[in-house]
Amino acid sequence: MKPGVRNTVLILVVVVLSIAAGSFFSIRNKMAEKEEAALAERQKYANIQGNVLSPVRRIAVPVLEQHDGTPFTIESLQGHWSILFFGFTHCSEICPAAMSVLAQAKKMAEKQNVEFPQVVLVSVDPERDDLKALGKFVTGFDSDFSGVTGDPELIKALSLQMSVIYMRARSDNKNDEKKEDENYQIDHSAALLLLNKQGNLVAFLNPPHTPEKVLQDVRTIIDES
């Protein structure tokens, strides 16, 4: 190989290696920046009793019905923050406790003059939860709370998007089948689901819930968003 050609080849090799090295370090720096950003995000929500989603989860809301007879759609969840809870009016313990906590947290927020999300109970027992019963149940905790019900398949479609699981509980007492059919309970997820002003799922707030902790976590997420 002639000296001139050899020099040209060497220069090209050096240029290619330089470009490759530059690309490598650039990619590594970008990965490091992403890792730092992810770490900062985790640290920001380190004290949250639950899971904050990144990115947020878009939800397709089927047309259901609110206890006052008005439609419940994605527009019902836009323009304000919301907390959804999947439960039912015949619930013996979990639902009344959760709704009571939310009512107390809302009162605390009002005293502090800070925003508190709209609270919506989505019934997992549409067979028994008619609009009247649902309205009486939710407004018994706070007049601004909303109850939602509708077609069982549409409720199931909404719950699956939010990773909510529920099923009818079965009694081991075979001699009590008739009573069970009338007064059955439903096992269901107890997380509070926080949605942002666009109607996207932002966080799962996990039990056990207290008014102080719910308000603190909600305010942290809203303030950091």
pLDDT of residue 38: 47
Strands (E), 129-200: 146-149, 166-168, 186-188, 192-195
Mean pLDDT by 10 residues, the chain (225 residues): 59 57 60 52 82 96 97 97 98 96 98 97 97 98 98 97 92 56 88 98 97 98 93
Summarize pLDDT for 172-208 with one digit per residue, the tens. 555 555 555 678 999 999 999 999 999 999 999 999 9
Residues with Cβ within 8 Å of residue 91, at least 6 apart in sequence: 185, 186
pLDDT, position 182: 72
Alpha carbons 149 and 110: distance in angstroms, whole number: 28
User: Beta-strand (E) ranges in the chain?
Assistant: 50-57, 64-66, 71-72, 82-87, 118-123, 146-149, 166-168, 186-188, 192-195, 201-205
Quickly name the fold that domain 50-224 has: Glutaredoxin (3.40.30)
**Amino acid code (one letter) for 115:** E
Whether the CB-CB separation of 191 and 206 falls below 8 Å is answered with yes
Parallel/antiparallel/unpaired status of strands 146-149 and 64-66: antiparallel
For the segment 23-52, what is each residue's pLDDT rounded down to a tens digit? 655 566 555 455 554 455 566 798 999 999
